[in-house]
Amino acid sequence: MTDAWASLMPTYAPAPVTFVRGKGSRLFDADGRAYLDFIGGLAVTSLGHAHPVVAEALATQARTLLHVSNLFRNELAPEVATTIDRLLGGGGRVFFCNSGAEANECAIKLARRWAGRRSAGPGSGTAGPGRHGVVSLEQSFHGRTLAAMAATGQPAKQAPFQPLPPGFRSIAIGDSAALAEALSTGGVGAVLLEPLQGEGGVNEVPDEWLVEVRALCDASDVLLVLDEVQTGLGRTGRWFGFEHSGIRPDVVTLAKALGNGVPVGACWARAEVADAFVPGDHGTTFGGQPLALAAARAVLEVMEAEDVSSRAAKAGDHLRSALLPLPGVASVRGRGLLLAAELAGRPSADVTAAALGRGLVVQAVTPTAVRLAPSLLVAEAEIDEAVAILAAVLGDVPPVGGPA
């Protein structure tokens, strides 16, 4: 029998389920079986599956205009950019792209252009290499392009693709001395970090340390770039993860929830920083095209109408409180509706496989932790249902080494 999947490159492990339909917090497989989705396409479908407002916006735009290229303007780009800028506090400009990796690639290029111009002096029309270095955090994840991977603080992901672009260095979360030392070299143009690490294991970055990072960047004339690809747009209980600390970044990258499943990303920067780019410095064929921005416009409208950040804060508190008493859960970390349940001796891969068998989709984000990132519109009853399934699964999956 021919394997229909053999025509695809083997970049992902074989999946046990094929989903063919979704509605709200539910997914349905090819046999019609329903699953409660508590990973949301890796924190992408923040409004749930097939949200009617987003679906209608896509259908209308598909009948109107799909693509014109960035040689010409389209009427949606300024509107969506203005909304993003407003949510981020104003005073910035936006570049649209197709993914989080591309948004981070834009941010890295922009930081090099900005730092090069600073090094070249005021009024310089050209820029040399300047301060091209980027400091990121260990266990971070910024994407799969070569530059974004170089900024990703996970050596195992980098190893097959060495040598990576030079100029990148990762430090431990909270290591102020290492950051100060890195910035003292004079070769760094940007610090790039996630306010709450997603793919690295839902690792918390202390608010007070972010305040210190902001101060160190200011003292060294270095850009602070916040990767909000996973944490942005309400996920952590605020519009953006950095808002918990009260700081203001120089550059912010977005994607994932911005299109609720439609590929769209954005890089926002303070106007002074954004103006380091000139025509020809950066571009994209599909970024900011009408179909993607029709989705983004609808998503942002629904998010504001539903006050998703407040909903995520409340639902996240409920989910955390329900998870903590479960036998087999050692601790819960994260914010809002981006949480990880650290398991007491149980392999997370076994737990997630058993949960899938019972109709719950979660992810083994580390060998010992399960990530939960449901829709920001998730109902309290759905949270209770998911926790009940996890409780049953934890009862079925024995701890490593036998009964606790």
227 tagged catalytic:
yes
Reference 394, options 361, 339, 365, 354; nearest CA is: 354
Burial of 19 (0-12, 13-18, 19+ CB in 10 A): middle
3 labelled catalytic: no
* Spatial separation of the C-alpha atoms in residues 173 and 188, rounded to whole Å: 18
Main-chain phi, psi angles of 194, to 5 degrees: -95, 135
Residue closest to 356 by CA, chosen among 382, 332, 390: 390
Cα 393 to Cα 19, 47, 384, distances in angstroms? 22, 27, 14
Under 8 Å between Cβ of 95 and 107: no
- Peptide linkage before 163 cis (omega within 30 of 0): yes
**Cβ-based neighbours of 314, under 8 Å, separated by 6 or more:** none
Q: Is 242 among the catalytic positions? A: no
Q: Where are the beta strands (DSSP E) in 159-227?
A: 168-171, 188-193, 196-197, 203-204, 223-227
Q: How far apart are CA 262 and CA 41, in angstroms?
A: 11
Q: Considering the candidates 96, 227, 240, 242, report the single residue annotated as catalytic.
A: 227
Q: Which of 38, 96, 141, 168 is catalytic?
A: 141
CA distances from residue 225 to 42, 54, 247, 255, 312 in whole angstroms, order as listed: 22, 29, 12, 15, 24
| Active site residue ranges | 141, 227, 256
